[in-house]
A and B are shown apart, each in its own frame.
Chain A
């Protein structure tokens, strides 16, 4: 079973490596959106420090969501998704592997780039570490929840906008807690409670969403 998981992750990573432009697009989107905010609200450092957590997390949310459309689309188009549905391996496991690979290509870069972008907002040193950590725990939750939406909207017209409507309301808890961790750290408080809550969300999502994603895929590919 674990061999299948490894194979799925390896395959999806390989596919992503062959098409590096897709990965880069999401990352560039993240960078550009975050950069637009200082241009929009002005270079006042106190203001920027105050809005930084929200801006970075909202941009991360949007980038994760943009990347979702690709999660199952190619497999659906070339028929390999149907082979996965027919496979003897539990679909939840295959789906978990796909989401993990998807997170490695679309979520992990945000974790790396996020703290660098935070420098634009003049956040202090300790907050940068918290930002990286909160993104590290939070973005997998976004990928897991988003995958349900991606599976449900598979092959629909206007899928992208619809996906936003379905998924963004469900992202609210991650946004609140993630930005809260950063807020606490920037204010000199302990960010640990926020990070623990975020970790709890991750555990819940990792345990339950693969089932929902698998069910959604079976409905969509029927």
Chain B
């Protein structure tokens, strides 16, 4: 049986589906993404806190969006990426894809939590309350529960292969349900209360605010990639501890 190949340029990308060859590659990539995250974060915070003007309605408290919006974006996007790798893992039976899904979950949950937390810090001065049952808040909270469910299921199964595949099915079921949950929550919300508060009708932003937010979003991307690559390296070492290349200590890139 021949090896599956995916040749783009002069590199066979399936080579990196093997944990052994991906491990040094990930190790080489982490510093780049980590530094990019640090630099972008510093630039984003500088623009956000020192350059961007004070909002004439919300005052200084609006500056939470520089953390909040990128975190909310990442929280949803990471779930999609996680489900994508879970699907790839189920179809191609590649262990590394499952490891990637496992490695992404804590980062996704972290961003979901940060989005909720910073949102409630922003809600207190702006809406006068820590929490409202706004459609977005509610579906973000349910997203957090979905992340927890995924992590708890994988943690409860000792055998890695079963943990991978069970988690993958759950991630895919979750991703199908996310739009249904979102629309049902949104619809429930409009049914129950009038438009007392709405996150959607944000005032048009000054260009510097948008720049700061985009810089922070890029920083969040870079951080997520660096953190999940780091985590996937640890998972590879843990799972492959019986393999020759780990046992012989050839683990540095």
Residues on A lying within 8 angstroms of B by beta carbon are 148, 152-153, 156-159, 162, 165-166, 168-170, 172-173, 176-177, 180, 183, 201, 208, 212, 215-216, 219-220, 222
Contacts and interface: CB of A to CB of B under 8 A. Distances in A.
Contacts, number: 68
A183 B185 CA distance: 15
5 contacts: A156-B156, A165-B145, A165-B148, A169-B142, A219-B169
Query: Counting chain A CB atoms within 10 Å of each CB, which of B156, B165, B185 scores highest?
Result: B156
Given A166-B149, A169-B142, A172-B142, A216 B166 contact: yes
Contacts of A172: 142, 181, 184-185
What is the interface of chain A mostly: helix, strand, loop, or mixed? helix
B50 interface: no
A222 B159 CA distance: 11
Interface in B135-189: 142, 145-146, 148-149, 152-153, 156-157, 161-162, 165-166, 169-170, 172-174, 176-177, 180-181, 184-185, 187-188
A199 B157 CA distance: 35
B156 A180 contact: no
B173 A170 contact: yes
Contact of A153 (B156, B177, B180, B188): B156
A156 B149 CA distance: 14
Contact of B162 (A158, A169, A176, A220): A220
B191 interface: yes
B169 A173 contact: no
A180 B180 contact: no
Contact of A176 (B146, B169, B188): B188
Given A152-B166, A165-B145, A219-B169, A173 B153 contact: no
- Which 8 pairs of residues, A with B, have the shortest CB-CB distance? A173-B184, A169-B145, A176-B188, A219-B165, A166-B149, A176-B184, A152-B166, A165-B149
Interface in B178-237: 180-181, 184-185, 187-188, 191
